[in-house]
Structure 1
Amino acid sequence: MSAISCAFLENISFLKRFLSRFLRDQQDIEDVVQEAYLRAYNAEQKKDIEQPKAFLFQIAKNLALNELSRKARQVTEYIEDSDSNTLTDTGSTTEEELEAREHIALFCEAIAALPERRRRVCLLRKVHGLPHKEIAERMGITVSAVEKHLLKGMLFCRAYIRKKEQGQLMGSPGKPARPISLEDRG
């Protein structure tokens, strides 16, 4: 039996618990576990793996993060692509609906402009609705760090949207608004 296969069989339950820090859905966890094993096994066929357990867990973590990013992109694309038929009729005018769509698109742009860790914290809270404690456990950070990331992320998003809207309203045609600098990102 290969070293990767042994490490996989000895650590499968631990691997699933590890992945539950990143993924909520049991089926997603199962899929990532299987994909991690297959990738690790295939890599082992090409070269010797000195630390099979660590290698397996690293592959699983990368796959889980990719899955989170993919789901976040799906939500963003869904919001951006939703048409007026999906909006609830509240008697709002077409202008109000267009303005709401533009605001959502700006919010998605702002989220995408955040540093990776802060973006993940914001998406886990705002899109997936996870409590601060669960986000902290999944990401291996403190609850205080989660709160700081959320605060800085939302302040950045608010400033980003405000600057974009002011640039669109006050900027001259053909002249883009000042880009958000790294200092503005918090």
Structure 2
Amino acid sequence: MPFDSTKPSLISTLVRHYDELVDRVRRRFGDRGFAREVVHDVCVQLLEKREKEGVHTPLALLHKISHDQAVSRYRSERRRQAWVVAMPELPEAACQAPLPAQQYEAAREFERLAQAIAGLPSRCQIVFVMHKIHELPQAEVAARMGISLKTVEKHLRLGLAACRAVLAETERAQ
């Protein structure tokens, strides 16, 4: 169907009735800036798509398109706002990472614990590391080492006592 210059196009109708379309959306949604954005979106939409043929009442179609666009935009904005969490104030720190002094002290404490474990008798040290560090059950440690469960418990008690003594000494020093 060839272009008929006597029939108004949707774009020319939008330009002629721009203020009316904006006011109609504003009355429904209450915000003039929102209404302008909606009508601009409709204009862009019309420019990007091929002109519809056989439109008898272009203004009525523009009313419908702008209303649908406004509803869609309003719903989208409501969903977006639902995801925003309002915080009355910002937290003091962005992350809960320890301070450098705390990191240094923890590293020193770790070194002292490692020295305490290294100072254990060899079998006691192996049992302690297998159970406490590698998290093997006591029965499995006993089976791997070829010792009784009571002996594993005895070695663990010795290892824990050595570690407690180092921690107690650290607390006294502070």
**What range is the shorter-chain TM-score in?**
0.3 to 0.5
Q: TM-score, normalised by structure 1?
A: 0.39
What TM-score results when the alignment is normalised by the length of structure 2? 0.42
